[in-house]
Structure 1
Amino acid sequence: MIAVRELYNDALKCFNEGRYNSALVLSYAAIERLALNGNIKGDDLGYARMLFASFQSGSEIDPASVEELLHIIEGFLETGKKEKVIEAKPFFVVLLFILGGLIASFFVKINVLWIDAIRIPAIGFTILLLIVSFKTKEGTVHRGDIKDREE
């Protein structure tokens, strides 16, 4: 998965070297990636799509237009929006595990043997959630498409 920041950095490098067509393609890919995540909409997305369509039809690309696309991406990256993917509270996960164990034990006690096929994967999944919640900062994992990196 290519991060938006990496696409932006590569597009900026191409722009500074005078390769405007390459910068346009990379900028457009970054904007489409942001649009897939629902982070960019409306006029900015429409402008990027119109510019890319004219590039595909063979029109000459103005460097100022490519620079404007780079500013759109840069503005998004500066805001630092991130999406929460997993927010696991260890207490509730343990409570869910205990409740599931009690219900499964009840079914086993009344001789429903197939419940073991459900109980064992449920225990494994709960342990996995606990590991993820303890390893992540404040129980939150951020989507991998935008990474904060020191440059």
Structure 2
Amino acid sequence: MKWHTEKVRFVEVEKEVKAAKKLAVRGLIIAVVGFVFVLVSLLLGIYGWADLNGWVAVKNLVGTIYTNTQFPVLGSLWKIAAQPNLNEPLQLQNLGFFGEIVVFMIGAAMVGTANRTLTDVAKASHDATQERRKEQLKKQQQ
């Protein structure tokens, strides 16, 4: 009966590790996409801020970044991303930008949770291995 319960526990741990790995991959995808959106939105906000305040050099720098990232996927991100108003950060117009930040943070939290689970499983496996070694040493000494 002991063998059966150990096998069931092993299967449960395998399922937990598999779920954690899936969570990490999904979280990483969400975090990377969210980060790209936040970055593009931030650049759009900086462009608007520089335009309003007359900072031509900053405006030209962001314009150069925009021009050099006009690939099929990235080009459409510039149109989709929220355009925050950095002069008045608490405006309702910035809600989309804050939403992008929240999506990025959710993805990062998913990765962190998965990594924590995998770390706990690895630590438990290490502890079990150490316990088996101690038992073997005790048997050898007797």
Normalised TM-score (structure 2): 0.30
Structure with more strand by fraction: 1
Higher relative contact order by CA 8 Å / sep ≥ 6: 1 or 2? 2
More helix by share: 2
